[in-house]
Structure 1
Amino acid sequence: MKRHILSVFTALMVLLGAISCEQKAKEDNLINKKKMDSTDSLPIKPHESGYADVNGLKMYYEVYGEGKPLIMVHGSFMTIPMNWAQIIPMLAKDRKVIVAEMQAHGRTKDIPRAFTYANMADDVSGLITHLKLDSVDVLGYSMGAGVSFQMTIRHPEQVRRLVILSGVYKNDGWWPEVEKSFETMNADMFKGSPIQQQYDSLGNDPAKFPEFIDKVMSIDRKTYDWSKEVKNIKAPIFMAIGDADGVRYEHALELFRAKGGGKMGDMNGLPKSRLAILPGTTHIGMITQPDIVIPMITSFLDSDLNTAPPTF
């Protein structure tokens, strides 16, 4: 079993490396093209970035585009470019995209505070207040999905719609082998990976990398169940998982049924919330297929949520 877990995370690190290399190749190609044609543009850059003082953190954030605000919360161990490099350019075409790095991640340095979903949710709420926004759409991936669930539970007035990518609202929402792997995950599995490289490159003490991994994993080594609170969320929810993801199908279906799913839309009208199970898609694959995922997200965010059944 241990060998299997190691192989899973070796594959994960290889895929993360491929993401980074692919993005670097795209940027190099754009730069080379720039030299030949002055009309070509460089990779998208934020029009605003900085540090927000929230709950004792100096939280790093970036803002792209204009329009309805959407804040996106990254997964475990990730940074803005690693999680969102392929996604920001597509979503920022017609909306304001806000991205931040959570406690101990990227350019947001750690503080002597418990690492919890609730604390990170309050940090996201504080960033929204810092940016003088009344309400936003919230999108969370993996760990960020848990943060986004808690954000919507704890600060419902700030959330218009909620998008959950490959995330859970109770610890046994993961497949049993995935949940079991959390107990044995350690820094050795990430040795030489893009995650360790980015940690070292941002001025962190390399000797504290094992402590970083353990702290981030600590939230998923505890039992939690937000089922009641999540099912009572008033904001419409779009939940997407891969058919080869780490999230149990039944877990996603349970929430969808609680939000009005499980009925024939032609007879009863469409529920305000949505569910997607993407074919041939793994956990990491969820963020490496923007051409598939982004149209679903924008359709949900831009819909008028007319639930009436069609007339003939």
Structure 2
Amino acid sequence: MNKHLLNRLSLAIVVMIAASCQPAGKEGPNASTAHEDSLANQQAQLTDSGYADINGLKMYYEVHGAGKPIVLLHGSFMNIPLNWAHILPRLAKDRKVIVAEMQGHGRTRDIPRALSYKGMADDVSGLLKHLKIDSADILGYSMGGGVAFQVAVRHPEQVRRLVVLSGTYAHDGWWPDVEASFATMNADMFRGTAIQKQYDSLGNDPARFPEYVKKVMSIDLKPYEWTREVKNIQAPVFMAIGDADGIRYEHALELFRAKGGGKMGDIHGLPKSRLAIIPGTTHIGMMLRADWLIPMITDFLDADLDAPPPTF
């Protein structure tokens, strides 16, 4: 990836993070007050938080709201407030929302263990056991989408329904130029961004920031291929990508067809799994589409998937 494209990606990350710190639909001179109100609302919904001893980690987690449980899994370099500012308050209105920070991210300190999708999936499984939750809906974004796929593959009994936003189940699910860009990413592109500031503010050693970036990127520098296992997931899957995402359309379509899609529902019935391609939406911008995503996600989670398609 050339320097111009690196600068554009870095700028996009900064814009996304800045926007994620503001509640959707609130702009202008009252944005600060609205942001405070939003944070107060999130705090009011907080029912539990702490650190769970799981697989050698002290894994930070929070529980918000009450109702059917859903676990939110963040993307690379993200943490709870950066990734879920728009999504968390809305889902917590009528659900028990469990949010965790993965190995080395946010308040979960890194340990001398390679970062891997499978390892993080086992951590999520351990967290559910720690919280005494037998089964939950799992929602993952980007890196968290890969973790979500692996939770469903490795711990199927703990997954009711699966939502993957801008995630892949094979390394070539990315557009080729995107996959090639991973090897060029380094700490310099994050200098001065909210990602670095959050890293420093949470008690990490600033001198180790380049090492942190390198370790997070390491999971996408090794080829991975879970197509067969993911196609055999028994839980219904809702996969959403942006029309200007880093994920290939064919990658999402291949899974949807394997899960019963690619047929006229009025004739053959609706598949239990779903696919959405969100218009005017980039990979990073997916997290700013809460107004569109939340109705689709909640409809999928609440739907009677055995019901016949609607008729006139």
TM-score scaled by structure 1? 0.94
Structure 1 residues 255-282: Cα deviation after superposition (integer angstroms, max 9, x where no partner): 0000000000001110000000000011
Contact 2:20 2:86 in 1 (8 A): no
Alpha-carbon distance in structure 2 between the residues aligned to 1:211 and 1:168 = 24
Residue in 1 aligned with 2:42? Answer: 44
- Matching of residue 180 in structure 1 with residue 184 in structure 2: no
Which residue number corresponds to residue 223 of structure 1? 223
Indicate if the aligned counterparts of 1:153 and 1:233 stay in contact, CA closer than 8 A.
yes
In the alignment, is the contact (CA less than 8 A) between 1:268 and 1:309 conserved in 2? Answer: no
SS of the aligned residue for 1:70 comes to strand
C-alpha distance in 1, partners of 2:210/2:39?
40
Q: Which residue of 2 aligns with 1:300?
A: 300
Distance 1:86 1:258, change over 3 A: same
SS of residue in 2 equivalent to 1:22 = coil
Counterpart contact for 1:77–1:216, Cα < 8 Å: yes
DSSP-derived class of the 1:42 partner: helix
Secondary structure at 1:220 match in 2: coil
Contact 1:238 1:274 in 2 (8 A): yes
Q: 1:66 — aligned with what?
A: 66
Q: CA RMSD in A?
A: 1.9
Does the CA-based 8 Å contact 1:121-1:151 persist in structure 2? yes
Name the residue aligned to 1:16. 16
Q: Is residue 21–residue 35 contact of structure 2 (8 Å, CA) maintained in 1?
A: no
Equivalent positions of 1:1-312 (< 5 A) are: 1-23=1-23, 28-30=32-34, 42-45=40-43, 46-306=46-306, 308-309=308-309
8 Å Cα contact 2:7-2:189 kept in structure 1: no
In the TM superposition, structure 1's runs of 4+ consecutive aligned residues that sit over 6 Å from their partners are 24-27
Deviation at 1:20, TM superposition (A): 4.7
Structure 1 unmatched ranges of 5 or more:
34-39
| Cα distance change of structure 1 residues 203 and 310 upon mapping to structure 2, 3 Å threshold | closer
Moved more, 40-49 or 136-145: 40-49
Paired with 1:16 and 1:85, the residues of 2 have a C-alpha distance of 11
Relative distance call for 1:3 and 1:41 in structure 2 (3 A) is closer
Contact kept in structure 1, 2:272 and 2:305, CA below 8 Å: yes
Residue-pair matches, total: 306
CA distance in structure 1 between the partners assigned to 2:39 and 2:17 by the alignment: 25
Deviation of the 1:252 alpha carbon: 0.2
Displacement of 1:8 in angstroms is: 2.9
Contact 1:16/1:194 (CA < 8 Å) preserved in 2?
no
Distance 1:231 1:32, change over 3 A: closer
